[in-house]
Each structure stands twice: as structure tokens, then as C-alpha cells.
Structure 1
Amino acid sequence: MKPVDAFILNQPEPYKAIVLHLIAVISGSFNALTLEFKYGVPYFYCNQKPFCYLAPNIKKNYVDLGIAKGFQLKYNQDILISENRNTVKSLRYSSLEAIDHNQLLSVLTEAMSLY
């Protein structure tokens, strides 16, 4: 079993379901991305460069979808969280129902334009 698969399967619910859903949406929408296990979390790469990661935070009850070049994004700033980070901005999801697919794809499409 790949390390990324083991990591995902070892997550408690609802984090496992959220991560699996986000992976399915991201993989199905952007063919140029590859999923790897880096920095202890599932990390998508575009042209061998970090694109975004999925980090479950069980203590704070959300999955953090961090976008590596998030600071360069111009749109959707009202929904992106920087939380004292200089380069990464993220979307946070505490349930499957909280995922707004239009916003998610809008943010990721803009991020892809940076690669």
C-alpha cells in the first residue's frame, strides 16, 4: 500500500470522507496533477512543483486544503484563509456538505493558471 493511501485510510470520519472526496474532485478536474505523500500529508504536484495539500486537523475539526501559491491568487480572497502564513492560503472544510464545488473549482482553476 502506498503511504498516501495508508494515511487516508487511517483518518477517522468525517476527515477520511472529506479527503477522499476532495482527491476525487481535484484528480477528476485537473489531469496535470500527481498525488504524492510529502510533508506527512497528501500533496498534489503540478509539473513537479507543489500545488496543493490536504491536511486533516482533528483538533480543530477541519480538513485544510492548502494552496502552495495561494498568496498570488487575486480572486476569492474572502473565502481563503492565510492565518499568518506568507505563501499558503487555504480552504477549510468540516463536513462534506460544507464543500462548495463552484468555489473550490474556481480557486483551483485560478491556482492552476500560475503553473
Structure 2
Amino acid sequence: MLNPLDHYFEQKDEPVKSCLQYLRSLLMGYDDITEHWKYGMPFYYHKRKMFCYLWIHKKLHHPYIGLVDGHKIEHEDLLQEKRARMKIFLINHLEDIPKKKIECILNLAFDLRK
């Protein structure tokens, strides 16, 4: 029996599934990042504080990384939409994943924690 986190990733269809699994492994490669099941989604904590989450955009059907304190980050590829505190980085699962851009955005988010 799969835990809720593994079940979330396993039940997705390709290529979204592979994209989310890649993002999961990328996030888990950072020091002090832990993965939790919170609010019915995979949530990632940095030093025991909420940091980001993975989800699928309801209208566009693209996976994204939601940054908890995204409203404090200025980056042209982050979208606020109707969120007060969060910003998201949409990922087109039909194209190559922009690893360098993701790492840049995550580093901006880590810098807020210092």
C-alpha cells in the first residue's frame, strides 16, 4: 500500500507524472528539505518551515512549484494570479524542464530564509 505522497505521484498520467517526479527529486536533493503530505498535496519544508509545494494548474493543466513566500520574490517567470502570499512557477511538461531557471528561483527563495 502506497503512502499518500507516493500515491499522488503514481496516479498522474505521463508526461505530467515524470515531470512531477523530477521536481520531487530535485527538491529532495537540497539540504534541510523534508517532504510532507499537507493540505492534500506534496509540501516541502526547509528547516521545518513551509517552503514550497507541487501541484497541477487547474486551467492550464501544467505542473507547477508553488512558493510559500513567493510574494517577496521578484522574478519574471513567477505568477501571483489571485494568491496573496504564494507565487507559482509553471512548467510545461511537454518541453525540457528548465532546471537552471528552477534552481535560480529556488535560490532566491532560500535567500529569503537567511
TM-score of the two chains, using structure 1 as the length reference: 0.88
Q: Distance in 1 between matches of 2:6 and 2:64?
A: 18
Matches within 5 A, 1:1-115: 1-28=2-29, 30-57=30-57, 59-74=59-74, 76=75, 78-95=76-93, 97-115=95-113
Q: Counterpart of 1:82 in 2: which secondary structure?
A: coil
Q: Distance in 1 between matches of 2:95 and 2:28?
A: 19
Q: Runs of at least 4 residues of structure 1 off by over 4 A?
A: none
Gaps of 5+ in 1: none
Q: Distance in 2 between matches of 1:22 and 1:68?
A: 16
Percent same amino acid at aligned positions? 28
Asked which structure has the greater RCO (Cα within 8 Å, sep 6+), the reply is 1
| Structure 1 range deviating more: 55-64 or 101-110 | 55-64
Q: Match for 1:41: what amino acid?
A: M
Q: Distance in 1 between matches of 2:95 and 2:60?
A: 17
Q: Distance in 1 between matches of 2:58 and 2:12?
A: 9
Gaps of 5+ in 2: none
Count of aligned positions: 112
Q: Counterpart of 2:52 in 1: which secondary structure?
A: strand
Report the aligned-residue RMSD. Answer: 1.5
Q: Distance in 2 between matches of 1:43 and 1:106?
A: 20
